[in-house]
Structure 1
């Protein structure tokens, strides 16, 4: 009986959705992997329709920027530092540092840039969507 109760609890835990912060962290990790795997569509799946970034960048401009970088660089690297997540209901702010690299595929990247990034996220129909981003060198 105790074994059955334990298995039932494990089954319920496995079926439950992760906490909002854990889901957000997983989404950011998936975006990082999609950048490195050169999958702009996977990145854009997590970007809100009304996205706004530095310099007036909108969602389409972000998508174009990704495509240009993927065409210009055989290898893309995206390394992000620890995430500082602040949740406020169905909104979140995530701060982190990022090192972006690109190159011809040789051992040493041709270009690299370090950034401090602040992003804004909101829950839309149960999914986190990136709706704003600011970055500086």
Structure 2
């Protein structure tokens, strides 16, 4: 009986510790990037822009959150396909914010994107917004 009480206590302690487990911020950011890449392949504008802040700045003002959403809406309307293959995502803390860097290879089966496709080096900046991490800035350069 004494062992049963100890075992029960151990089980309760383990469950309590598991309930306190919090997903690390780096993993949340990687998950958001993966979700956005999957949404891009579905040409789902709403899901792609979901992790972006309202004041998102793409490539020093060349693309806003709204611009990106509109581009994907046009692509969806035209029946375009898009494929996004992510390289390894490196997430580094910068004070209370994070920077995530990765490569992405974009290909398409349509005509809207051809000059804008290839391999890109991407650097994204993230800040906490409530319980979520949201991307407020991104820069990308075509590698190939």
1:20 aligns with 2:50: no
For structure 2, the residue ranges without an aligned partner over 5 or more in a row are 1-5
Residues 73 and 102 in structure 1, CA contact (< 8 A), matched pair in contact too: no
Q: Which moved more, 1:51-60 or 1:127-136?
A: 51-60
For structure 1, the residue ranges without an aligned partner over 5 or more in a row are 105-109
Aligned pair partner of 1:125 in 125, 130, 133 = 130
Instruction: Indicate the structure (1 or 2) with the bigger Cα radius of gyration.
Output: 2
Determine the structure 2 residue equivalent to 1:93.
99
Q: How does 1:1-137 map to 2 (within 5 A)?
A: 1-6=6-11, 8-10=13-15, 12-14=17-19, 16-54=21-59, 56=61, 57-104=63-110, 111=114, 112-137=117-142
SS in 1 for 2:46: helix
Q: Number of aligned pairs? A: 132
Deviating runs (4+, > 4 A) in structure 1? Answer: none
Under a length normalisation based on structure 2, what TM-score does the superposition of the two structures give? 0.79
How far residue 116 of structure 1 moved from its aligned partner, in angstroms, is: 0.8
Identify, as 1 or 2, the structure richer in strand: 1
How far residue 76 of structure 1 moved from its aligned partner, in angstroms, is: 1.4
Residues 70 and 76 in structure 1, CA contact (< 8 A), matched pair in contact too: no
